[in-house]
Amino acid sequence: MREIIRFARGNSSLGDFMVAMSDKGLVAMELGSSHGPTEEALRIRFPNAEVVNSQHELVDVLEKIVRAVEDPGFDPELPLDMRGTAYEIKVWSMLRALPIGETISYGAIAAKLGTRDARDVTKAIASNPIAVLIPCHRVIKKDGSISGYRWGVKRKRALLARERRVKSLPTSKGDE
C-alpha cells in the first residue's frame, strides 16, 4: 500500500504556507506563496507516495500552525515525522531543544556535535522542511548578525522579534 501524504495551504502574518502530513506526523511546513512548486516539491520528495490535497481534513492542523507562528509560546502538539539523514535529524533535534527567544551560531552547533566545520551544520539547517516548529530561524552568525533563511531573511527577523517579545514578558510565579 502506498504511503499517503496529505497537504493543505494556509495563511499567517508571515504569508502563505503549506503543511504536509504523513500518518506519523508533520513532514513539511513550507513558507511561501508558490502553490505549484511546493506541491511539485512534495511529489518529488515523496516519489512513492500518493500526494493528496486535503484542505478540509487538515483545518485543525492549519489553525495550530497559524497559532504557533503568531504566538511563539504556543505548543501545537503536532507530532513531527522528521525525515532526513541521521546527521540532519540530530541537528534539527538540537534546534528543537533550544528555548524560545534564544539563538545559537552555526559554529556553536558544530562544536556541540564535535566538529569545527560549520558547513555541514549549515547544509542540514538549509534542508529543514519544517519551518517554525524546527526553529532553524534561531541560528545566527557568530558575530550575532542574521544570516540567510530558506524562507527569507525578513521572515527570520519577524520570528526572532516575536520570540524576543515572548521571552521578555514577565512570567507568573504561581502559588509560592
- All structural domains of the chain with their residue ranges: 3-70, 86-168
How far from each other are the two terminal CA atoms of the chain, in whole angstroms? Answer: 56
Report if pTM > 0.75: yes
Average pLDDT (63-72) is 95
pLDDT higher than 50, residue 101: yes
Determine which one of 18, 19, 136, 160 is catalytic.
136
Q: Residue 170: phi, psi to the nearest 5?
A: -65, 145
pLDDT higher than 50, residue 140: yes
Q: How does the average pLDDT of the chain come out, rounded?
A: 90
Specify whether 4 is catalytic.
no
pLDDT tens digits along 9-52: 999 999 999 999 999 999 999 998 666 667 888 999 999 999 99
Average pLDDT (54-83) is 96
Q: What is the pLDDT of residue 150?
A: 87
Taking phi over 0 as left and psi of -120 to 50 as alpha, with beta for the rest, 132 belongs to left
Using DSSP, state whether 173 is helix, strand or coil. coil
Query: Exposed, middle or buried: residue 175 (CB in 10 Å: 0-12, 13-18, 19+)?
Result: exposed
CATH fold for domain 86-168: Arc Repressor Mutant, subunit A (1.10.10)
Q: What is the pLDDT of residue 175?
A: 44
Q: What is the pLDDT of residue 148?
A: 85
The pLDDT confidence band at residue 73, using thresholds 50, 70 and 90, is confident
* 8 A C-beta contact, residue 83 and residue 127: no
Q: Which superfamily does 3-70 belong to? A: Methylated DNA-protein cysteine methyltransferase domain (3.30.160.70)
Neighbours of 101 (CB within 10 A): 17
Compare 41 and 170 and report the one with higher pLDDT.
Answer: 41
